[in-house]
Structure 1
């Protein structure tokens, strides 16, 4: 009796569940069709290369015997990662971009914030001209800017070192001690205008009534900038910092071009440069491994910075 009653109640319940499942599937089809133009290229051009790079990092080319036969690809697990992290040159490249970023990124964003505040000030004249002038270095292709700076710092050609020599200073902008400051200066010159525009756009979204009310209360222009404008553009500052962290981790153009006038700059000066050097040596598995390590480093730094900002925001 109980079994028959259970079967009579379970049958309609299963039918109702099947109908609900069918309705959900029918509702999901239009959503999938709308998302397909994004998901298909995203999977093909973003997820697939990442997956293939991870796959290649787990293998190594092996030659048997005397090396006369064609090499075969063998699975080595995490051995490539141990080899890369055990390489002093690659570890030095990771540390080098960290140190450059710790100094260059805050200075660049400070300059960008200052320029954005100057452009946003009511007393600033010729705003369009200055905005274009500040943004122009970013508008130039990165390689072109690096080539220009390589002539400006090359020994025997640099007008900077010539002027310093007339002042009694022996300056070599391509020496081992000056390579990092030189590259940091090139990055600051090229990216300050880009970050300035992001911050300036955020400043333009601040209601003018806030500044007017602060002025009526006797607040100075500096006080308005520090107490009102800077806190309100905090999301833009966070965004530019994350972009700058990722960009510094991917540093390649500047050292690769600068190597032509600074032979002392090694081919493993930055992680991307080291990975490219591995590609030139036909060691694609090592290049994939170093690329994965660099991507993980950029992710950890960016995510760690975001979590730090969120904790400070919650504490406030």
Structure 2
């Protein structure tokens, strides 16, 4: 009489096992991702109302603000200026980083390359350096008083450019991002190249194609999904730039406390003490990032569908 009961319990355990494995990940997602986002959205629709001098118990109350915080954020010129600065920064970072990543991946995939393992590790190694440490290292290399580059230029009697101010500041910060991110994108593209069938390249060689022609006409089109993936990663990372300008700020007067949108969010929340306005700005940035990523993904899928053979 106990055997059917045991069989039912075993069947029930098999059916519920996947949910048990998913529970830890779902709980972590809820606690550290979904709930903070929901709390930030809640804060964005409220504000602090001060009565009298703001002293004493009950002088400051959280009240409903509606869309006031969003209206103030969207009409704030500092947010627009910070977004334009990040746009100029991204125009340098994304194409240079992905171009170098593709170049190195194609170079490592070539049959003529030597010391492939060492070269792959050397290119990827900067990605393992924390962003703050990388920004500090490059920041001191940019300072005229301690930089060996400025010493060599001074010894040669050549002009010393100020890499921490003006238009060159964009290139200086972009250089840090390119130095640190090229290796990761290279690994993604190189892995896709190594998974391609060798028969395709052998057939192309028999037809008289050179290495350059194989790279341009076969390899790059076949790893297009990886290029799109790395492009999305790079765009999102550019929109969220924070480490480089924040770390370099004490070294120069060319970087303000609201140089990037995320720096403005931090400044509003923890310097200005207006966490509700900062939450509204953060929500706007999240929505803008999502819409931009969605638009780029749809455009990429449409182009891939149109170019696919029928």
- Relative to the length of structure 1, the TM-score reads 0.87
Please name the residue that 1:78 is paired with: 67
Distance in structure 2 (CA, Å) of the matches to 1:62 and 1:298: 31
Asked if residue 290 in structure 1 is aligned to residue 277 in structure 2, the reply is: no
**In terms of mean alpha carbon deviation, does 138-147 or 294-303 score higher?**
294-303
CA contact (8 A) 1:155 1:174 kept: no
- Alpha-carbon deviations, 1:267-298, whole Å to 9, x = none? 10001111111222222112211211111121
Distance in structure 2 (CA, Å) of the matches to 1:111 and 1:47: 36
Deviation of the 1:312 alpha carbon: 1.1
Asked if residue 107 in structure 1 is aligned to residue 96 in structure 2, the reply is: yes
Distance in structure 2 (CA, Å) of the matches to 1:125 and 1:105: 28
Q: 2:135 aligns with which of 128, 146, 150?
A: 146
Deviation of the 1:227 alpha carbon: 0.9
Asked if residue 178 in structure 1 is aligned to residue 168 in structure 2, the reply is: yes
Q: 2:218 aligns with which of 223, 228, 231?
A: 228
CA contact (8 A) 1:152 1:160 kept: yes
| Structure 1: runs of 5+ lacking an equivalent | 1-24
CA contact (8 A) 1:202 1:233 kept: yes
CA contact (8 A) 1:155 1:161 kept: yes
Distance in structure 2 (CA, Å) of the matches to 1:117 and 1:220: 14
What SS is found at the alignment partner of 2:48? strand
Distance in structure 1 (CA, Å) of the matches to 2:96 and 2:157: 27
Distance in structure 2 (CA, Å) of the matches to 1:29 and 1:201: 36
| Structure 2: runs of 5+ lacking an equivalent | 1-11
**Aligned counterparts, 1:107-126, within 5 A:** 107-126=96-115
CA contact (8 A) 1:164 1:171 kept: no
CA contact (8 A) 1:173 1:182 kept: yes
**Aligned counterparts, 1:1-316, within 5 A:** 32-69=19-56, 70-165=59-154, 166=156, 168-281=158-271, 282-316=273-307
